[in-house]
Each structure stands twice: as structure tokens, then as C-alpha cells.
Amino acid sequence: MGKFVIRNTNTGVKFDLKATNGQVIATSEVYTTEAACKNGIESVMKNAPIAAVEDQTVEGYAAEKHPKFEVYTDKAGEFRFRLKATNGQVIAVSEGYTTHKNCMNGVESVKKNAEGAEIVAE
């Protein structure tokens, strides 16, 4: 089971979702309060396991309803995903992956690790 690690930054509070091996698989935006950060975690826990995958790297991809993972290619040519809640707000993002397969594995890891994950403060 994964865990959400809440940490303070210079500008606020954010979380990282870590897989069982300790690797960061998704990161949040910077929130102004810890309470807002925890709400973001709850949203990821609720939405990630049921989210569809919209692969924007495929020509003519099918648009999915929220919640969804959007898989896309960034300006550097790396594959990334962002998790959007039912209201369309981005609630978690990934690192850049060199291959599409690894990015899709990241999506599956978030789906598997988010639900019921432990929440800890760093």
C-alpha cells in the first residue's frame, strides 16, 4: 500500500504519493493550508481508483468524463499524466517518463496505491 507524504514548502503545503517501494508516483499543487492539502489527498483517494484514462498521445483519442487521468507528451517530449477530479480540477501530476509504457504503469500504480493509503507528515 502506498502513502501520502505531506510536506511544507517555501510557499505552502503539498503532498507526494509514494508507492510501496518509496518512489514518488504523483505530486500535488502547493496548497496554502494543511487542511486544503488533506482535502486534495481525499480527492485523489476517491477519484484515482475509478478514473478513466484519456490517452492524448493517440491521434483521435476519445475524450473521457471526469474523473480521469490525462496522459500527454510535454514540451521536452516526455510522457506525463495528470489526474483530474470530477469537477475538472487537476489534483495530482506525474514526473516525466521516457516511455509511454512507463507512464501507463505510473497511472496504474496511482490507481492501486491511492485508495486507503496512509497519510504521514514529513
pLDDT at 3 (0 to 100): 97
Q: Which CATH class is domain 3-121?
A: mainly beta
- 17/25 Cα distance (integer angstroms): 6
pLDDT category, 122, cuts 50, 70, 90? confident
Examine the pLDDT at 107 and tell me if it is beyond 90: yes
Beta strands in 9-116 (DSSP E): 13-18, 24-27, 52-55, 68-73, 79-84, 90-93
pLDDT digits (tens, 9 = 90+) for 28-79: 999 999 999 999 999 999 999 999 999 999 999 999 999 999 999 999 999 9
Provide DSSP, 49-78. GG-EEEETTSTTPPPPPSSEEEEEE-TTS-
In the chain, domain spans: 3-121
Residue 72 contacts residue 58 (beta carbons within 8 Å): no
